Amino acid sequence: MHSVRIITLGSHPRDVSLDLLARGIRDILSLDSVIEPIPLDIDAALDPSRKQYHSTELLASLVELESSGEHRVLGITPYDLFIPVLTFVFGQAQLNNRAALFSTFRLHNEFYGLPHSPARLEERCLKEGLHELGHTFGLRHCMELPCVMNSSTYVEDIDLKPADFCLHCREHLRSVC
Amino acid sequence: MTAFDPSEITIMVVDDELSVRQSLEAWFQDDGYTMVTAENAAEALSRMQEQRIDIILLDIKMPGMDGLALQDRIREFNTDVIIIIITAFATVDTAVRALKAGAFDYTTKPVDPDELSLLVRNAVDRIRLQRENIALRESIDHLQYVDDIIGESAQMQKVFELVKTVAPTDSTVLILGESGTGKELIARAIHMNSTRKYFPIIPVNCGAIPESLMESELFGHEKGAFTGAQYRRKGKLEMARGGSLFLDEIGTLGLKSQVDLLRVLEDREFHRVGGERSVKADFRLICATNVNLSDAVQRGEFREDLYYRINVFTIVLPSLRERQADIPLLANHFLDKHRKAMNKNVEAISPEAMNLLKSYDWPGNVRELVNAIERAVVINKSGTITPDDLPMQMASRPKEAHGEQTLADVERRHIEVMLEENDWNISRTADKLHIDRVTLYNKIEKYGLKRP
């Protein structure tokens, strides 16, 4: 039986309850989560010119933490993430492997000049967490709009999709979880 | 547009930076695309030789051959692959050069995730349209060339060979065959495989047009040529200009029309009814009939000179009972066709129903088979066609010539039946059979028939 190790990277993301995230993961994915306060040095992944962290390098650090491959590691960071060719990424995961990661940097309403909304932030965090974890279980982006595995390149895309999997993706998860 | 599977699209990332290749590979793998990477031009070209690549995400600055030179090289042998330039060193000059050389789009690193997704989505849409276009063209080609003309039997293979031989020539073709054997389909196949295929094929059913209207129908008329001719009207011969004229049931053409047609074939020009100016005739003539024209010539019903004019290259279509082996193939083909047309879930023909189809003598030939299958698809509810779905007369009229396989067997049996029906009166039987008495005597002798 898999479980999810939730690990913060850098510092604890502002206004985010990891307990709520863990509860959401249990409700939707039926997976227990453990919140682990492991201090990780992430400075090596910082690109000073971009003022962003290289997402793939952070993922590599998370993989090292879970050498057994028994559990999933879900990293969560308040810092902005990038991969070399893109201006930013909301998160990244290893397809069909054990590590996933997302950033809360662009999930805050304030980033877009909108009033602070803790509920909206929690909802976005859960959707991002489920989405990236979905990749670790072999799910690719889903064409179905009402599915958390639908691809999001804007924060509005995240808000539009539900915090749940479509029947097809759920079927896949049932077969691998 | 039909749904598509992203894994059917292969994207190649060509970039000398490993991190860029890995990032893009992972990014698009999440979308389900099939990914390939290459770190330089040589590797990219080698990948393209190994497999089909649909989209290339191409960096410009690379050691050795740069991205623009690689694009030029690729375009020499592949104009279909979609190339998207992604460069960290964008200049107006390189953008213009890349786009002029056929790049689909051009963007700079780092690129917004949304922009990159949109670029690739646009490229994928184009690929899907291209593929859809090819599929549609192929289906049209299929319709034009082989749809409904189906047969693996030796007789039909011979017909296909003849069609292939005569189609590219401009020869007049005479198609003989019983009603319902597909004479018009063969005429269309000849036309569509000829150099005239981009012009129309104009069919004229000679049996359906009264003799009094035939002249105007074929040659057209000028305004005021006769009472009611309020406008100038083009005839079928003029409509077929550049293409083919298909005269179906030519055996029923009246003697006056035969003379008119013969004159056109000899002079290659004609006049509209009521017109003085001659119009050039530019069509290929394809005729069809289910009657024996040489007999009609003997009876004086068909002009001998016209007969020789049209009897240049003859294709004889076998009746369905002469190619019994094709019945399952045809039946399944028409089942598939009508099932799709009616959107009904009728998937198969039961072995009993197929046996019935094979044992029936099909006097109406393929046309009758088409109708029988269409009817069965309409009334079927179980998903498998059974004997109950087939027309009643099929069950009550099994093939008359049990055990008779060859045309000679059928002919022998038919002559025997006709002689008995006419009390062995040779003149009357010959008349009924539309052959002369000498021919009938020869056949009686050939088959060793004796009066009981």
Whole-number pLDDT of residue B394: 64
Q: What is the mean pLDDT of residues B288-300?
A: 91
Determine if the peptide bond prior to A39 is cis (ω within 30°). no
Q: Which residue has the higher pLDDT, B204 or B278?
A: B204
Whole-number pLDDT of residue B448: 82
Q: Which of A54-58, B179-183, B341-345, B442-446 has maximum average pLDDT?
A: A54-58
Bridge partners, B11 (sequence order): B35, B55
Which pLDDT band, with edges at 50, 70 and 90, does B2 fall under? very low
Write down all domains in chain B, each with its CATH number in brackets.
6-140 (3.40.50.2300), 154-316 (3.40.50.300), 320-396 (1.10.8.60), 407-447 (1.10.10)
CA distance B371 to chain A (A): 42
Whole-number pLDDT of residue B363: 87
Q: Is the pLDDT of residue B123 over 90?
A: yes
Q: Is the pLDDT of residue B185 over 50?
A: yes
The three-state DSSP-derived secondary structure of B13-27 is: EECCCHHHHHHHHHH
Residue count (chain B): 452
Is residue B246 within 8 Å of B182, Cβ to Cβ?
no
Residues of A in contact with B16 (CB under 8 A): none
| Beta-carbon separation of B32 and A95 below 8 A | no
Q: What is the mean pLDDT of residues B426-435?
A: 88
Q: What is the mean pLDDT of residues B391-410?
A: 63
Sheet holding A52-54: strands in order across?
Answer: A46-47, A52-54, A81-82
| Beta-carbon separation of B27 and A83 below 8 A | yes
**For B77-89, how does the pLDDT look when each residue is reduced to its tens digit (9 = 90+)?**
888 899 999 988 8
Whole-number pLDDT of residue B9: 94
The values of phi and psi at residue B65, to 5°, are -70, 125
Residues of A in contact with B109 (CB under 8 A): 84-85
Whole-number pLDDT of residue A130: 97
Q: Which of A123, A132, A156, A171 is catalytic?
A: A132
Is residue B173 within 8 Å of B288, Cβ to Cβ?
no
Q: Which residues contact B194 (CB under 8 A, 6 or more apart)?
A: B167, B168, B170, B244, B284
Quickly name the fold that domain A3-176 has: Collagenase (Catalytic Domain) (3.40.390)
Whole-number pLDDT of residue B101: 87
| Beta-carbon separation of B116 and A141 below 8 A | no
Q: Which residue has the higher pLDDT, B216 or A101?
A: A101
Whole-number pLDDT of residue B142: 45
Q: What is the ipTM score, two decimals?
A: 0.85
User: What are the boundaries of each domain within chain A?
Assistant: 3-176
Sort strands B173-176 and B284-289 into parallel, antiparallel or unpaired.
parallel
Global pTM value? 0.53
pLDDT in tens, chain A (177 residues): 679 999 999 989 999 999 999 999 999 999 999 999 888 889 999 999 999 999 999 999 999 988 887 899 999 999 999 998 899 999 999 999 999 999 999 999 999 999 999 999 999 999 999 999 999 999 999 988 899 999 999 999 999 999 999 999 999 999 887
CA distance A1 to chain B (A): 25
| Beta-carbon separation of A141 and B114 below 8 A | no
**For B127-173, how does the pLDDT look when each residue is reduced to its tens digit (9 = 90+)?**
989 888 876 765 555 445 545 688 888 899 999 999 989 999 999 99
Question: Number of A:B CB contacts under 8 A?
Answer: 61
| Beta-carbon separation of A151 and B117 below 8 A | yes
Which pLDDT band, with edges at 50, 70 and 90, does B420 fall under? confident
Provide the mean pLDDT of chain B.
87
Residues of A with CB under 8 A from a CB of B: 50, 56, 82-89, 92-93, 95, 135, 140-141, 143, 151, 153-154
Tokens in use for A172? 């896949």
**For B352-381, how does the pLDDT look when each residue is reduced to its tens digit (9 = 90+)?**
899 889 888 888 899 999 999 999 999 998
Tokens in use for A69? 């491959």
Angle at B174 between CA B168 and CA B176, to 5 degrees: 125
Q: What is the DSSP string of A23-77?
A: HHHHHHH--EEEEE------GGGEETTTTEEEHHHHHHHHHHHTTT-SSEEEEEE
Is residue B347 within 8 Å of B383, Cβ to Cβ?
yes
Q: Which of A20, A68, A12, A67 is nearest to A36 (CA)?
A: A12
Q: Is the pLDDT of residue B198 over 90?
A: no
Search chain B and give the residue with CA nearest A94.
B26
Q: Which residues contact B59 (CB under 8 A, 6 or more apart)?
A: B14, B15, B16, B17, B20, B67, B85, B86, B87, B88
CA distance A133 to chain B (A): 12
What does the alpha-carbon distance between residue B178 and residue B318 come to, in Å, rounded to a whole number? 8
CA distance A60 to chain B (A): 13
- Let me know if A132 is a catalytic residue: yes
Q: Is the pLDDT of residue B398 over 60?
A: no
